[in-house]
Structure 1
């Protein structure tokens, strides 16, 4: 529990007490002594009021999901219960968070065993890793001289993933790279998939010869191969400290580049293609191509907090 300094009112009360002490000792009049005692008792009552306001409180924060995406909402339900015999008044409840623009303060009053709850909703606008979940209750005396605050619950990490856009017109089959894709065509170079077997022609590479079938047919037989979309894809993200412009925390080239990277990863993963990521940030980021869900989640976690602070050019 922490005592907070409050406005100029406290300064004026201190000056008033000083004057009462001066006149009481200087004149000896009982009136000044009584007035001094009344001021001190009033201040003590206000301080005790603020202190008891923070006793017997039970705080609950109901939030099942501790991550979101830019454009989503931070949700939850905040509940406060007065387990003390005395009523509570002049108290403010808010969640402490490092999420930009997030505020959830509310002033309430409670009688014994009363329960108050309300929904929390805040639009997530900036990607990153933040802290939230700690609840701060501030109590004030009726005279506005003191404020006390008390913290409940512990902070937890909340991850805001980058925004992704649909890419319906992106067709990796147009790349015509060696692959194991469904849509294929004949290839003049060796790939991982053989399409058929034919007789040897002059100029065919010896690497194409299918030796078991050659022995069976008693004639040189060679393999033909298929080609389609790329079997593996890499997303290269330039995070050099001089590669991006824009001072706005949301509308800048860094956020645009991260959004494009996330959208590409999301699209290629939906096509069951192995996807990798390389970014030249200050802490070098590299994920080899894979197609499982955990791999995609790790790449998205890295992109949630990556910044254009790299010193090595891509």
Structure 2
């Protein structure tokens, strides 16, 4: 039954009581009016003494990590709150930490877990608090605008050891691969060895000494390494 229909039925009852003058009907009508007023006032007074605290320790989160948020709901007033609904309004996918609880004299605590789905800024909050009286006729809602902003970083993946050519090849040592046939710096010459490419042969000295002579190369001690950051 809606609140409007209930108020209409109560008005008709009071009108019937006034016409008939029956004492029992008067008592019943006044009791219903008093109940109607109490159920209307109850959630409005109860919600004033309720506080909601949310806390999370983000650290340095990355995509795919699990986070844990702690909720604490307290009642400071003297009016009990038998039906309290706590809802999260942050609209995070697959994260519904809200609950329906009953508040007495002690605080109610619980933990909720979620997963960082996307990189970038993420906000936990705001929070909706709804209080309803025991008869379920009236409720009162309060929106808590406090938010907790968390910066989520891209997922960290292990990178294999980077072995640069300059750290492995020094002087006249041989290396595999096309880059080793034409290094940037020439260090000297030596007698031709089986397996040397024609690009290593020093033709003018070979003609002068009447035998094949091969170039030796000095590999650079440093190498440029490019790192591209995809944000």
| TM-score, scaled to structure 2 | 0.64
Kindly report which structure 2 residues correspond to 1:216-227, keeping only aligned pairs within 5 A, or say none: 224-226=218-220
User: After superposition, what is the alpha-carbon deviation per residue over 1:237-270, rounded to whole angstroms, capped at 9, x for unaligned?
Assistant: xxxxxxxxxxxxxxxxxxxxxxxxxxxxxxxxxx
Distance 2:30 2:166 in 1: 89
Distance 1:224 1:66, change over 3 A: closer
Supply the distance in 2 between the matched residues of 1:19 and 1:187 (Cα, whole angstroms): 105
Deviation at 1:47, TM superposition (A): 2.0
In 2, the alpha carbon distance for the partners of 1:149 and 1:107 equals 13
How far off is 1:91 after superposition? 1.1
Q: Distance in 1 between matches of 2:80 and 2:137?
A: 20
Matched, 1:28 2:19: yes
Counterpart pick for 2:108 among 105, 116, 122:
116
Q: State the partner residue of 1:130.
A: 122
Alignment-derived partner of residue 276 in structure 1: 228
SS at match of 1:276: coil
For the residue of structure 1 that corresponds to 2:48, the secondary structure is: coil
Q: 1:160 deviation in Å?
A: 4.4
Asked whether the equivalents of residues 81 and 133 of structure 2 are also in contact (C-alpha less than 8 Å), the reply is no
> Are 1:50 and 1:141, in contact at CA under 8 Å, matched by a contact in 2?
yes
Whether 1:182 aligns to 2:167 is yes
Please say if residues 84 and 131 of structure 2, whose CA atoms lie closer than 8 Å, have aligned partners that are also in contact: yes
**Shift of residue 34, structure 1, vs aligned partner:** 5.8
Contact kept in structure 2, 1:172 and 1:230, CA below 8 Å? no
CA gap of 1:38–1:85, structure 2 versus 1, over 3 A, is closer
Q: How does 1:1-314 map to 2 (within 5 A)?
A: 9-17=2-10, 19-20=12-13, 23-24=15-16, 28-30=19-21, 37-65=30-58, 68-112=61-105, 114-127=106-119, 129-152=121-144, 154-163=146-155, 166=158, 182-184=167-169, 186=180, 188-190=182-184, 197-198=187-188, 224-226=218-220, 231-232=225-226, 275-277=227-229, 299=230, 302=231
Relative to structure 1, the CA distance from residue 182 to residue 10 in structure 2 (aligned partners, 3 Å threshold; closer, same or farther) is farther
TM-score, normalized by length of structure 1? Answer: 0.50
SS of 1:91's partner is strand
Deviation at 1:65, TM superposition (A): 0.8
Contact 2:166 2:219 in 1 (8 A): no
Cα offsets for 1:91-131 (capped at 9, x unmatched): 1223332211211122222333x222112212344556432
Q: Which runs of 5+ in 2 are unaligned?
A: 170-174, 190-201, 205-215
CA RMSD of aligned residues (A): 4.0
Equivalent residue pairs, number? 199
Deviation at 1:144, TM superposition (A): 0.9
* Alpha-carbon distance in 1 for matches of 2:158, 2:142: 45
Stretches of structure 1 lacking an aligned partner (at least 5 in a row) = 1-7, 174-178, 204-221, 233-274, 278-298, 303-314
Deviation at residue 90 of structure 1 after TM alignment:
1.0
Q: 1:227 to 1:140 in 2, by over 3 A?
A: same
Once the two structures are TM-superposed, the CA of residue 17 in structure 1 deviates from its matched residue by 3.8
Contact 2:167–2:221 (CA<8 Å) still a contact in 1? no
